[in-house]
Amino acid sequence: MSTPSNTDADLLCINTIRTLSMDAVQAANSGHPGTPMALAPVAFALWQRVLRFDPDDPIWPNRDRFVLSAGHASMLLYSVLHLAGVKAVNAKYEQLGELAVSLDDIKRFRQIDSRCPGHPEYRWTSGIETTTGPLGQGLATSVGMALASRWMAGYFNRPGFEMFDFNAYSICGDGCLMEGISGEAASLAGHLKLSNLCWIYDSNRITIEGKTELAFSEDVRARFTGYGWNVVHVEDANDLNKLGQAFKAFQDTTDRPTLIIVDSHIGYGAPNKQDSHSAHGEPLGEEEIRLTKRNYGWPEDAKFLVPEGVREHFQAGLGDRGRSLRADWMQKFEEYKKAHPELADALYKMQHRQLPDGWESCLPTFPADAKGLASRDSSGKVLNAVAQKVPWLMGGSADLAPSTKTRLTFEGAGDIKPGGYRGRNLHFGVREHAMGALLNGLALSKVRPYGSGFLIFSDYARASIRLSAIMEIPAIHIFTHDSIGVGEDGPTHQPVEQLPSLRAIPGLITLRPCDANEVVEAWRMIMKLRHEPVALILSRQALPTLDRSVYGAASGLAKGAYVLADAPDGKPELLLLATGSEVSLCIEAYEQLKKEGIHIRVVSMPSLEVFAHQTKEYRESVLPPGVTARVAVEQASGFGWERYVGLDGQIIGMNTFGASAPLKELQKKFGFTPERVVAVVKSQLGRS
């Protein structure tokens, strides 16, 4: 990449980015103008001169990815998307023929229904590759994108057909580098030698509280060198030539990721705001804006001005380059379809979140077995069967694959390792938070990723899980060791509040299957999801495989809850509700109560969220409103079960943390025994 000469048109574009950002923040009376003003040259240099991106088709599969990890600087990105003429695409991958960000959207920055919300939102504005805002998340997500590029290259590329080689770029600030997730992600990226990853660090020495020296004095260059990164320093964010040289250094580096440290002055051009934290998180004020525009040689009273020639300049650079690259790729894909039809079909299906034909034929059926299997074990069997049919299903664990049973063991599965990305097993290391964000980056790139760990450690990944739900992407979060059944490891490893807290995340589906055949149905559901992330909750201890010729079919899982065992006349006196390992416990109680002539119904409720979305008629057929005597059983906090048992029902759950002891002793201590369930049922019915 040669370094182009700088022109007056370049400076005009840069100052347009700055003034649009200032005006939008001022109109909203809310937002962060300083960073967009300071980094306008950086964003311009990257988008106009480097990025492989077609504004007319912002979802072209081999486009470079740009992530604004410093999401508070959202006006920087919105200004670029508008000036570059990026077109809108809907959820059906249809081009709408309108701008993704109109000037009216910018004028309504941070207002209801504007395509310019306070922080960049995926699925809301075309050209936004991921939702950002929580600092460091964008950085870690970009690692997933870079890894996806390398994996897809390994799977799809063939001689003469380089279908995937995109780069991932992310702009971050001091806050992003302070957050622990960035360290986790940078460490893993360096280990994997992801040379298609470039982070641009805005070193402006300012945070909300003031100078960074209040809390941040580390040697960032040394830190990233230690991670195994190439580090480049640009001493002035306004130096387009030095920025160009830095991006060339990234492109020439083939054995490691690159960090470009860019020194900037926040609120650049604002005479009274340079190096002032007030320009970071609040509008400049009308007088300050006039003075700043005067400093730029800009009409002082003009608002939201886009001078003639700015949009045309972007089109002659980014636009022409992107259209040419995309056209070449699309032509090559047509040839690829003839030379490698099966791979081309897989590429298309993966990009459109479709599944290979006949993938369900691999799903097993487990015979009834009183001893049974731990649901983590049955899940491992099903996962391996599905992964052989769905080549782009890949993932791993936070250093716990032997325990979570998530390793793919079939021939050819292989490991993803430094410089070798063709495998299907990904080793995240002990990095739960980064793992969650990497899953998001992989899913946004259209591979189907899963990550796993113990349920108790979902707390470490919660911010990333929450973002997968906000973005409506089908990341798969597998959690084992789901209850006090962990036993001797004690309270620190026994999840109590995690289940209800995950259920509280809007858009996240939690699934806690009760036996091996519910596990099969869980995976059948999971693989068909296109816009919902899922938390699959599995046991360490063995669960009896129920005899489905006697009890309800496991396919009922698809509706979230179903009648597993019923009163002889279909008219129960009491409803007994449970999930996971407690379902078989309820079946034991049911059989005992049936012998005593007490008519109850056992309902397996593997997913409260899915059940809540069923029709009223179905919900009432499972939980008849007239049957008010109800008991819920779950080895977790009872929070949330009131919705289904009512104020007069009873919950057999955890009201404290657990304890360190063998499983059977814990079950007895905390009341998870058939005898306790029977006693509570009789109490509810007034038959104590």
DSSP for 297-353 reads T--TT--S---TTHHHHHIIIIIHHHHHHHHHHHHHHHHHHHH-HHHHHHHHHHHTT
Give the model's pLDDT for residue 267: 65
Tell me the per-residue pLDDT of 541-599, one tens digit each, with 9 for 90 and over: 999 999 999 999 999 999 999 999 999 889 999 999 999 999 999 999 999 999 999 99
pLDDT at residue 369 tops 90: yes
pLDDT at 2: 47
Helix (H, G, I), strand (E, B) or coil at 219: coil
**431-483 pLDDT, tens digit each:** 999 999 999 999 999 999 999 999 999 999 999 999 999 999 999 999 999 99
Tokens for 112, please give them. Answer: 């209801």
What is the pLDDT at residue 213? 78
Does pLDDT of 161 surpass 70? Answer: yes
Greatest CA span in the chain, whole angstroms? 90
What is the per-residue pLDDT for 86? Answer: 97
Using pLDDT thresholds of 50, 70 and 90, give the confidence band for residue 679: very high
Residues of the chain with CATH 3.40.50.920: 557-684
Sorted by sequence, the CB contacts under 8 Å of residue 631 that are 6+ apart come out as: 574, 575, 576, 577, 645, 649, 650, 651, 652, 677, 680, 681, 684
Please give the Cα distance from 48 to 491 (Å, whole number): 54
Q: 412 with 175: CB under 8 angstroms? A: no
**385 pLDDT higher than 60:** yes
pLDDT for 165 beyond 50: yes
pLDDT in tens, 220-251: 999 999 999 999 999 999 999 999 999 999 99
Q: Is pLDDT above 50 for 276?
A: no
**Mean pLDDT, residues 301-316:** 96
Tell me where in the chain the CATH 3.40.50.970 domain(s) lie: 8-327, 359-544
The reported pLDDT for the residue numbered 275 is 43
Structure tokens at 467: 């973002």
418 pLDDT more than 50: yes
Question: Average pLDDT in the 381-395 region?
Answer: 98
How high does pLDDT run on average in the chain? 94
Length of the chain: 688
Q: The domain 557-684: what is its CATH number?
A: 3.40.50.920
Residue 458 CA to residue 495 CA, distance in Å, equals: 9
pLDDT at 278 over 70: no
pLDDT of residue 423 exceeding 90:
yes
Contact 682, 598 (CB under 8 A): yes
Does pTM surpass 0.75? yes
Answer with the residue of higher pLDDT: 505 or 487: 505
Percent with pLDDT over 90 in the chain: 90
Higher pLDDT: 589 or 488? It is: 589
pLDDT band of 321, cuts 50, 70, 90: very high
Asked whether 336 and 163 are in contact (CB, 8 A), the reply is yes
The CA distance from 276 to 265, in Å, is 9
What fold is seen in the domain 8-327?
A: Rossmann fold (3.40.50)
The architecture (CATH level 2) of 359-544 comes to 3-Layer(aba) Sandwich (3.40)
Percent of the chain residues past pLDDT 70, beyond the cut? 97
Average pLDDT over residues 409-437: 96
Residues serving a catalytic function are 432
Evaluate whether 43 touches 126 at the Cβ level (below 8 Å). no
pLDDT band at 280 (very low <50, low <70, confident <90, very high): low
pLDDT value of position 281 = 64
- Give the integer Cα–Cα distance in Å for 150 and 165: 7
Distance CA 325, CA 323 (A): 6
Q: What is the pLDDT of residue 465?
A: 98
Band (pLDDT 50/70/90 cuts) for residue 217 is confident
